[in-house]
Amino acid sequence: MRYTFSKVKISGWIETSLVDVIGHVSFSVWFSYCNFRCLWCQNRPVIIGEKVLEIDVDKLVETVKEHAWLVDFLHVTGGEPTLQPVQLTELFKCVKERTNLKTSLSTNGSRPNVIQNLLKENLLDHLAIDVKAPIDDEELYAKVIGLEKGDVVRSVAESLSIAVKNLDFIEVRTTLVPRLLEVKDMGNIAKYLSTLGKIKRGRRFIYVVQQFSPSETVLNEEYRRMRRGEPEDVLKAAKMASKYLDWEIYARTLDIGVVKIK
């Protein structure tokens, strides 16, 4: 049977990445555009679609296939990949058909139905999901993601619940953004995650607290000029999370790399 492939809007790819799926090497692709406007976002060119490459899914799959011997996962990040659900599904489906790679999605959690549909078709092996702020604080969440207060927290909560019920390998990530979040907020996020259910044998649930690091590609000018977050605060926040959560916990900073807390 002959497929008609969609075109996907991407901002680029890297053939081998060591940072997208913890403990694994991935071929990582950036899907263009995002529905959030986090002032501190590192990927301004990606989220506003500054340089978009429109490519056939088929062609992208062939590129992934050429490098499949080097990596364990195809990782799709962004931007927000769930904004192109048809292309995302096609990409994962074809990669599973044509290679032995596992699939990984990085998402802001705003489109639980897309995650659910990928799972229904058995197309997802690893999910990295951002929890940007405590789930029970809608106002703070909206501030951190640069939007008006809305339904986002409910969608993120639903995405988390779907992930915990259905996947064996999950990474939840929070960036400790100076002026917006405090160490205690990671404690609140960890408490929430601990209510989602117990980890069964053979499953890896991971919580990573990340450092904010300014660069020329940060969305908001004030955040572009801000100092990098203190590594000690990231460590403190990850330790705080470890008091409440029985998952693997890591602190990730540029200064001291990835430190396993638990």
Write the single-letter amino acid at 149.
K
Cα 251 to Cα 151: distance, rounded to the nearest angstrom? 29
Determine the residue with CB nearest ligand SF4. Answer: 41
The answer to the question of residue 47 lying near ligand SF4 (CB under 6 A) is yes
- In this chain, which stretch among 5-13, 35-43, 67-75, 111-119 interacts with ligand SF4, using CB under 6 A? 35-43
3-state helix, strand, coil in the chain (%, to 5): 35, 25, 40
Residue 210 CB, nearest distance to ligand SF4 (Å)?
11
Q: Which position among 45, 79, 81, 112 is part of the footprint of ligand SF4 (CB under 6 A)?
A: 79
The answer to the question of residue 142 lying near ligand SF4 (CB under 6 A) is no
Q: DSSP label at 70?
A: G
The answer to the question of residue 80 lying near ligand SF4 (CB under 6 A) is yes
Residue 186 CB, nearest distance to ligand SF4 (Å)?
17
Q: Quick one: which of 107, 104, 103, 57 has its CA closest to 80?
A: 107
Q: Which residues contact 48 (CB under 8 A, 6 or more apart)?
A: 33
The answer to the question of residue 38 lying near ligand SF4 (CB under 6 A) is yes
Q: Which position among 28, 43, 211, 242 is part of the footprint of ligand SF4 (CB under 6 A)?
A: 43
Structure tokens given for 188: 């609140």
Cβ count near 193 (within 10 Å): 22
Write the single-letter amino acid at 95.
V
- In this chain, which stretch among 31-39, 113-121, 178-186, 187-195 interacts with ligand SF4, using CB under 6 A? 31-39
Interaction site with ligand SF4 (CB under 6 A): 34, 36-38, 41, 43, 47, 78-80, 108, 145
